[in-house]
Amino acid sequence: MALRLGDTAPDFTQESSEGTINFYDWLGDSWGVLYSHPADFTPVCTTELGMTAKLKDEFEKRNVKVLAISVDTVESHRVWIDDINETQNTRVNFPILADPDRKVSMLYDMIHPNANNALTVRSVFIIDPQKKIRTTLTYPASTGRNFTEILRVIDSLQLTDNYSVATPANWQQGDECVIVPSLKDPAVLKEKFPKGYREVKPYLRMTPQPNK
């Protein structure tokens, strides 16, 4: 069965390019991004892994750990990492999970038989510190992921958790946010949003981004 938003992310223990990983222990109290790659030595994946390494500081300042997964072996990953470092002018600084037995790929429904019955699609799971799945994204094997969008989604989720706001279409850091509809008490609104808000409609209330 496919995993849905709000489901608990399955735990697992698997080998990686940085040793054995028990997922829950490795994640600790951090947010997590688990994302899959169809196979080693694939061109689009090489660019994605290089981009992830370059964004290390951006993930860290959001308290996010990134874990990649491919169906190939640890030995294959380590050779591939050399290629990634060379071609993408970076250093891979996060683990790549080995999944030759397809255990994790099946656990997270990353193999879609009508697309390819052996290789994973480009799945992305954003997981919060309570181990709940907060976002799923699925790309075809031919399309590289938009990491600006992945970071934007994480920013939005963390704003919602911390400040009771949602983010409108095409929201970027510093833009106005939407006050969640469940907040109605004027005293609570005044306390939570000292910068004020504007009411476009009773159900559509805009406020400056609370943490800016």
- Block residue for tokens 């496919």: 2
Alpha-carbon distances, residue 50 vs 3, 46, 84, 85, 93 (angstroms): 27, 6, 6, 7, 10
Q: What H or E segment, with its residue span, contains residue 191?
A: helix 186-192
**8 Å CB contact between 197 and 206:** yes
CB-CB contact of 99 with 71 (8 Å): yes
Of 45, 64, 69, 179, which residue is the catalytic one? 45
CA distance 58 to 72: 28
Q: Does residue 177 have an active-site annotation?
A: no
User: Active-site positions?
Assistant: 45
